[in-house]
Amino acid sequence: TQLDLIRNFSIVAHIDHGKSTLADRLIQLTGTVADRDMKAQMLDSMDIERERGITIKANTVRLEYPAKDGNTYILNLIDTPGHVDFAYEVSRSMRAVEGSLLVVDASQGVEAQTLANVYQALDAGHEIVPVLNKIDLPAAEPDRIRQQIEDVIGLDASDAVLISAKSGLGIPDVLEAIVKRLPAPKGDRNAPLKAMLVDSWYDAYLGVVVMIRVMDGVMRKGDRVRMMQTNAVYGIDRLSVLKPQMVDIDELGPGEIGVLTASIKQVRDTRVGDTITHERKGCEVALPGFKPAQPVVFCGLFPVDANEFEPLRDAIEKLALNDASFTYEMETSAALGFGFRCGFLGLLHLEVVRDRLEREYDIDLITTAPSVVYHIYMKDGTMQELHNPADMPDLTYVDHIEEPRIKATIMVPDEYLGDILKLCQDRRGIQADLSYAGQRAMVVYDLPLNEVVFDFYDRLKSVTKGYASFDYNITGYREDFLVKMSVLVNDEPVDALSMMVHRDRADMRGRAMVEKLKELIPRHMFKIPIQAAIGGRVIARETLSAMRKDVTAKCYGGDATRKKKLLEKQKAGKKKMRQFGKVEIPQQAFINALKMD
């Protein structure tokens, strides 16, 4: 394809502003997918995405668009996730395209992730076309939002495209704007092959699938190619474009985006950001690589059933291929046995991975307390990173502890400002800035990340009835008075529940934790003390009283099948429990005990 007939773009938006709906309309209007095959949210292929209505993995689709100028253009759309945890995927896919549609909900206006995403697009050198969506809503105020885009982002929005992705209004104008206002890719067909590895994932039927953007040269089916970082060489078995299902193609030229399979066995060989070239007569200089993702939240994942360790390892390896930002290593816990210590970009990312393991691979998991990465400065002058509170060194050797801090930007309607300030203050925040854009306040806080990873986002949403938006980035490390709090159930320490907390907040957290656990742990035949402790000192204590009756007692005299059913039900319920000494703790208790009210 001629370069000037290609447009590569992504859609950036705050969550729920209608990015996926717009993508669906573009797919539909260009006839890429026949109407009868159209499903809502075409690009969100995973069940879990559809259920939660969020886009997790960046996906891509190739559209053919006969424009008003008489030419048929190839439009490659890369869909990007909108949530703060997935900013890394956004920055990655941005590098493979030249322009962005900036979708802003015309009734809501600019939100925290609108800002974060648009800055990434600007960093990647994109041309940006503002699109005001949901103009069908009575509350839509396109003129005001246009002005807001200019004031807050500094982007000329005078010729923003007004659309309703839901009704289809204005979609043809979006297609024309893509062709007219976004730049064509550049590249040299005669130069040695230089392609960017944009993404890779594991497919049950095809094995490892690699998404590429060709910069220079031509890639053909059957070519032998080399990954420049790992030096691995492969023969290309299959070259395809995504429409959005795979359609085979013989070659991909400069500016084109597609996928290849090459009997790649080693998942490690497909490093996102790597440069792919020909084995012979390849290019000399690789593309600048992507910054590797830095996980900021760690937690342990253990199978409820110890026999499921091998299936879990398998599933985690596969998932990790689909998600370059997720890290894992083996871990053993005194109470939980073998499992994995995993690193995530944030708490939502953690929940998504856990859900996928449970649903797609059918493994019941125990998630241990999420922890950020602490810097432990030892008296001998060395520093070690702490990913797991269980590894906390003996305090007599520790000089001081530093924790990560973030700069959080929160946008919120005026009437909720007070609640937000209180929430941030309660979480040891320091206010850095407060300004207004119309009826909305923009608050900037310096916060410890450890106060944010548990449930900050949930709290933020609930105190503002969902009207606040939030974005953050890590600014650095600072010393504070941090201690390790352990939890003892029936006098046995449960290492999976130990966590690092600020000393001033420890009593409160300890109390909340033991109260929660008292509700979450079912009664046993004996009394169970539940305690929170720092070092040897107990800071909170509750006692779970003993159960009085056998569950089957109430069926006394009833028929045997009913009794059997009840026992079976009990047994099934037990599968989701874990034995600690003499006590069984339900799987759900591990994550729920950590939520603060």
Which residue in 213, 196, 329 sits closest to 272, CA to CA?
Answer: 196
Please tell me the distance from the alpha carbon of residue 106 to that of residue 114, in angstroms, as a whole number: 13
Residue 227 interacts with ligand GTP (CB under 6 A): yes or no: no
User: Residues 315, 361: contact at Cβ < 8 Å?
Assistant: yes
**C-alpha torsion angle, residues 371, 458, 82, 13 (rounded to 10):** -150
136 annotated ligand-binding residue: yes
Alpha helices (H) in 153-288, listed in sequence order: 171-181
**Selected binder of ligand GTP within 5, 137, 155, 483 (CB under 6 A):** 137
The region of 50-58, 227-235, 488-496, 550-558 touching ligand GTP under the rule CB under 6 A is 50-58
**Selected binder of ligand GTP within 126, 134, 278, 440 (CB under 6 A):** 134
Please tell me the distance from the alpha carbon of residue 414 to that of residue 139, in angstroms, as a whole number: 18
307 annotated ligand-binding residue: no
Residue nearer to ligand GTP on the CB measure, 22 or 353: 22
Q: Smallest distance, Å, CB 352 to ligand GTP?
A: 12
Edge-first strand listing for the sheet containing 224-227: 233-235, 224-227, 275-278, 194-203, 207-216, 257-261, 238-242, 246-248
**Selected binder of ligand GTP within 50, 166, 221, 313 (CB under 6 A):** 166
Q: What is the DSSP string of 88-128?
A: HHHHHHHTT-SEEEEEEETTT---HHHHHHHHHHHHTT-EE
Residue nearer to ligand GTP on the CB measure, 9 or 234: 9
**Selected binder of ligand GTP within 26, 82, 101, 333 (CB under 6 A):** 82
Residue 176 interacts with ligand GTP (CB under 6 A): yes or no: no
Residue nearer to ligand GTP on the CB measure, 6 or 171: 171
Residue nearer to ligand GTP on the CB measure, 38 or 430: 38
The region of 65-73, 158-166, 424-432, 449-457 touching ligand GTP under the rule CB under 6 A is 158-166
Residue 48 interacts with ligand GTP (CB under 6 A): yes or no: no
B/e letters for 226-239, b = 16+ CB within 10 Å, e = fewer, are bbbbeebebebebb
**Selected binder of ligand GTP within 15, 206, 437, 566 (CB under 6 A):** 15
Residue 80 interacts with ligand GTP (CB under 6 A): yes or no: no
Please tell me the distance from the alpha carbon of residue 399 to that of residue 177, in angstroms, as a whole number: 59
Residue 94 interacts with ligand GTP (CB under 6 A): yes or no: no
Residue 171 interacts with ligand GTP (CB under 6 A): yes or no: no
Which residues, 6+ apart, have CB-to-CB distance to 418 below 8 Å? none
The size of the interface with ligand GTP (CB under 6 A), counted in residues, is 19
Neighbours of 127 (CB within 10 A): 13
Cα Rg of the chain (Å, integer):
27
**Selected binder of ligand GTP within 3, 136, 192, 251 (CB under 6 A):** 136
**Strand bridging mode 127-133 / 99-105:** parallel
Q: Smallest distance, Å, CB 233 to ligand GTP?
A: 38
**Selected binder of ligand GTP within 17, 126, 278, 341 (CB under 6 A):** 17
Residue where the block lists tokens 């490690």: 268
15 annotated ligand-binding residue: no
Cis ω for the linkage preceding 244 (within 30 of 0): yes
18 annotated ligand-binding residue: yes
Binding site feature residues for GTP: 16-21, 133-136
Footprint on this chain of ligand GTP (rule: CB under 6 A): 13, 15-21, 53-55, 82, 133-134, 136-137, 164-166
